[in-house]
């Protein structure tokens, strides 16, 4: 009887120890799983943070590139606009002369200084200077005077360093008035050199 009781106790004790070991193992396994899960979540969280960081950096970089592109485009447009304005000024600004004269006054020289700057900035350009007169005087005289006026402007440009091969001259005399009519106000606008850009 005692032997049976002892055996039963041993069996129950062994079973109890085994159960505790299994519970301990289960707890440790659960803790390890939880720890592994937490570590994995931390890794995933870090990866997501890095992804978001790279995405934000890429967005910032793209925005900066777009800003630079727009800035460069704006500068190019401004440069082109300035170029076209300078070209228009070169063509549209005539040099005027006193009656029966081919001498360049101060205003004429200032205008030619700007034209020389434009030609220096556009070294491939070739131009024609067109000499004109008012309708007083003979046709022959006005043709000769128109040529003298064109030559005066050409020589001045050459003195500023412009290659003579880049400049042609022609005289139209009284044939191409800028303003029709008579009187000093009209005549003063017809005594002029016009400038034509032949090539750039």
Q: Read off the pTM.
A: 0.67
- List pLDDT tens digits, range 89-129: 898 999 999 999 999 999 999 999 999 999 999 999 999 99
Residue with structure tokens 């000093």?
184
- List pLDDT tens digits, range 43-99: 988 988 989 999 889 989 899 988 888 889 889 888 889 888 889 889 899 999 999
Q: Which of these three, 35, 61, 92, is where a domain ends?
A: 92
Domain match, 135 and 191 both: yes
What domain range includes position 133?
95-199
pLDDT over threshold 80, residue 4: no
Are 153 and 129 within 8 A, CB to CB?
A: yes
- List pLDDT tens digits, range 138-182: 999 999 999 999 999 999 999 999 999 999 999 999 999 999 999
Domain match, 168 and 187 both: yes
Q: Which of these three, 68, 92, 116, is where a domain ends?
A: 92
Domain match, 118 and 159 both: yes
Number of domains present in the structure of the chain: 2
Torsion angles phi and psi, residue 51, rounded to 5: -65, -45
């Amino acid at each position: 009887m005692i032997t049976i009781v002892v055996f039963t106790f041993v069996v129950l004790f062994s079973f109890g120890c085994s159960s505790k070991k299994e519970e301990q193992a289960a707890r440790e396994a659960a803790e390890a799983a939880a720890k592994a899960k937490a570590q994995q979540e931390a890794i995933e969280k870090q990866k997501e943070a890095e992804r978001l960081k790279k995405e934000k950096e890429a967005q910032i970089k793209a925005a900066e590139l777009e800003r630079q592109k727009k800035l460069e485009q704006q500068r190019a447009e401004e440069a082109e606009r300035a170029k076209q304005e300078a070209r228009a000024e070169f063509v549209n600004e005539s040099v005027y002369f006193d009656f029966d004269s081919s001498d360049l006054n101060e205003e004429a020289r200032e205008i030619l200084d700007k034209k020389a700057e434009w030609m220096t900035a556009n070294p491939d350009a070739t131009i024609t200077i067109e000499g004109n007169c008012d309708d007083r005087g003979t046709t022959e005289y006005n043709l000769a005077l128109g040529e003298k006026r064109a030559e005066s402007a050409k020589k001045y440009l050459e003195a500023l360093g412009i290659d003579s091969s880049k400049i042609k001259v022609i005289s139209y005399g009284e044939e191409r008035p800028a303003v029709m009519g008579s009187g000093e106000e009209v005549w003063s606008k017809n005594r002029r050199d016009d400038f034509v850009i032949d090539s750039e």
